[in-house]
Amino acid sequence: MKNIFTKKLYLRTLIMGIFFIFFSCNKDMISSSTNTPTSSSCIKTIEPINISCTNSHLNTSFSGFRTNYNLDSTIILSEGNYEKGKQQGFWKFNHPDGKPFKEGNFTHNKINGFWKLYYKSGNLREEGNYDNCIRSGYWKFFFDDNLETVKSEGNYMKGIKSGHWKFYSEDGTISEEKDC
């Protein structure tokens, strides 16, 4: 009887530990219902568009500008500079139909500096800074309306909303303000 109780306690503790580690270490798993800061929620959000620190890395020492095309070589999918096989400097990425997807800077294969991300329609979705792959500083999010109408704006500190945030209606009026 004692052995079964000990196994159950061990198993419960193990599951709780895994759950805690998973959610405390994976900052992108907690999300709002829309995956973008459109409401007054001050919780972390999933990156609306895949931004990864494990981008292209050539297994060579290639340095220079490179353009990557789709399979039939008719649409540019990405273009930018490599330095010793790592992405360095400004890069542009396109959706498979050729419309803009994301553009920004890399430092030694890591996302760093100012980035713009786009809806599948090609309209601007969001813009802001990354510091070593983590959202940092001032960010603006836009409606998919081809007019660059601001949806929300505010600051991030170490990937978490911080300070004063403004949320807008599609007509451009402020719908809510909140300190995070």
Domain coordinates in residue numbering, the chain: 1-30, 33-179
Q: What is the pLDDT of residues 127-162, one digit of tens each?
A: 999 999 999 999 999 999 878 899 999 999 999 999
CA angle 96, 101, 104 (to 5 degrees): 135
The two three-digit tokens of residue 145, written as one number? 């309306």
Q: Which residues contact 132 (CB under 8 A, 6 or more apart)?
A: 110, 111, 112
3-state secondary structure 23-58: HHHCCCCCCCCCCCCCCCCCCCCCCCCCCCCCCCEC
Pick the CATH number of 33-179 from 2.20.110.10, 3.40.50.300, 3.50.50.60, 3.40.50.720: 2.20.110.10
Residue with tokens 């505010």: 154
Q: What is the pLDDT of residues 92-131, one digit of tens each?
A: 999 999 999 999 999 999 999 999 999 999 999 999 999 9
CB atoms within 10 A of CB 131: 16
This prediction's pTM = 0.70
CA end-to-end distance (rounded Å), the chain = 50
Q: Length of the chain, please?
A: 180
